[in-house]
Structure 1
Amino acid sequence: MFKLMQLEWRKLKRTSFIGEVSTYFLIMAAIPVFFIKVVHPSFGESYDMAFEFINLSTQMAYIIFAASLINQVIIEEYKNKTITLAFSYPINRQKLFMVKIFFIAAMMFAVELISFIISGVATYAIDAAFDIINGSPSAEQIYMYFMNAIFYSATTILVGLIPMFYFGIIRRATVTTVIAGIFIMQVLNFTYILQWNDELVLSVLCLLGAVSIFLSVKMIDRVGEV
């Protein structure tokens, strides 16, 4: 399994991937402070509010990152016909596809968790220098921030993989996969703005993501490489 995941890493356009990830890190380090200072000062009322904004914005951003990974790891292989070579290996197709899903999930979790750390540290450092957030973070708030970072990094995997089965495997549509990611991102945004039950909405999205993963693995023998 690990060797197959290493193969997926070697097949990835690593220069483009590293550049994309670096851009995400820079943006997610700057966005919280920009919104707190310029766009929505209410997020600066307390560290609870600031951390809540970082949680939401980071999760939304990495749903788009998931769409990018689906394009690179799955759709491009179909379009370049390299999926045919992979399916010719003496390994079960479902196992091969599970490797792709595990690879995407591992990349998403690691990159998003690092982004949470960068955003949190950058926000605290800038606040220490310019005093843009009321009060100081307590040990309990910092602990909860990191627990939430792990939780949101995990749930974003399921939410981000919603477009994989239909748009990634069936339609193999690069642009539409990204558009689907943007739509899902806006669902989370409007959930916060309209104060819907965010736990219920997130649970439904995670369920849809789990169904997409299940169908992707279950149907891969029928879909094939055509």
Structure 2
Amino acid sequence: MLKLLKLEMKKFNLHWYVKGAIIANIIITAVVCSVIYIAQREGDLPISTYQDVYVLIGASVRATFIVFASVLIAKLVIEEYKNRTILIMFSYPISRKKLIASKLTLIAFLTVSTMIVSNIVVAGLFFIINIYIPIVPFTLTANQFIGEVISMVPFAIASTGTSLIPLYFGMRNHSVPATIGSSLLVVAIACSYNPEISLVTFIPLQLGLAAVGVIIAYLGIRNTENVDAI
């Protein structure tokens, strides 16, 4: 499995993903700072505690990289079927299940790693910026920062499972637009943020969506032997 993962990484040259993640972190930080700053002045989005700040950061990061995961699914899985290059891989003396499992494992690993790192980076940048340019009317301490970043990890893991849901829609007609488009629908549900009814922190929903994503991935791997690549 490890060799297959290395081959997938070499094959698709994931430098674009790293560059995209760095750019996304910068944009997320700028957007979060702007939204919170404007909200404090206009009162449209009440940010009264440091938990509100980190919930918004977590929601933004998870939403962004669920979409990134759908792009990975499209490139590593859906396009392989659409262009029939998967047939070449299926001709190797390796189990089809292992081939697809390696692709989905790589996608999950990249997604959860990027989400965790991005949460730390964006929250850290906000913490530093707030020291020099006060954005919120309360102090963010280092202990609060560490505690909130740690609390974001389980949500990032759950969101990794959720990010696999677009696989179902993409595999139906081997459609890249359906894969990426469905991720936007997933984001609208999983990352909905509202001070009154915030689905992004509703643990049963997050775990339920994660379970659905894992089941879809499992079924996709299990049915690989029985599905014609054409």
Asked whether the 8 Å contact 1:28–1:115 carries over to 2, the reply is: no
Q: Alpha-carbon deviation of 1:6? A: 0.9
- Alignment deviations for residues 149-197 of structure 1 (CA, whole Å, 9 cap, x no partner): 3212211111010121x22333211111111100111112446466166
Match of 1:49 in 2: 52
| Distance in 2, Cα, partners of 1:122 & 1:157 | 23
Match of 2:174 in 1: 172
1:181 is aligned, of 180, 183, 196, to: 183
Q: Alpha-carbon deviation of 1:31? A: 2.0
Higher fraction of helix: 1
Choose 176-185 or 81-90, whichever is displaced more: 81-90
Which secondary structure does the structure 1 equivalent of 2:94 belong to? coil
Structure 1 residues 153-164: aligned runs within 5 Å: 153-164=156-167
Match of 2:213 in 1: 209
Asked whether the 8 Å contact 2:62–2:191 carries over to 1, the reply is: no
Choose 195-204 or 153-162, whichever is displaced more: 195-204
Structure 1 residues 136-155: aligned runs within 5 Å: 136-155=139-158
Q: Are 1:221 and 2:221 matched, yes or no?
A: no
**Residues 196/116 of structure 1: CA separation in 2 closer, same or farther (3 Å cut):** closer
Structure 1 residues 3-152: aligned runs within 5 Å: 3-39=3-39, 42=45, 44-152=47-155
> Identity rate of aligned residues, in percent?
24
| Distance in 1, Cα, partners of 2:58 & 2:69 | 17
| Distance in 1, Cα, partners of 2:134 & 2:15 | 37
Give the letter aligned to residue 202 of structure 1.
Q
Asked whether the 8 Å contact 1:55–1:148 carries over to 2, the reply is: no
**Residues 43/84 of structure 1: CA separation in 2 closer, same or farther (3 Å cut):** farther
| Distance in 2, Cα, partners of 1:48 & 1:11 | 41
**Residues 63/118 of structure 1: CA separation in 2 closer, same or farther (3 Å cut):** same
Q: Alpha-carbon deviation of 1:132? A: 1.1
- TM-score, normalised to structure 2, is 0.89
Q: Cα RMSD over matched residues?
A: 2.0
**Residues 62/20 of structure 1: CA separation in 2 closer, same or farther (3 Å cut):** same
* Count of aligned positions: 225
Q: Alpha-carbon deviation of 1:204? A: 1.9
| Distance in 2, Cα, partners of 1:160 & 1:171 | 19
- TM-score, normalised to structure 1, is 0.90
Which secondary structure does the structure 2 equivalent of 1:219 belong to? helix
Asked whether the 8 Å contact 1:191–1:201 carries over to 2, the reply is: no
Which secondary structure does the structure 2 equivalent of 1:25 belong to? helix
Q: Alpha-carbon deviation of 1:216? A: 0.7
| Distance in 2, Cα, partners of 1:136 & 1:224 | 58
Runs of 5+ unmatched residues, structure 1: none
Asked whether the 8 Å contact 2:39–2:47 carries over to 1, the reply is: no
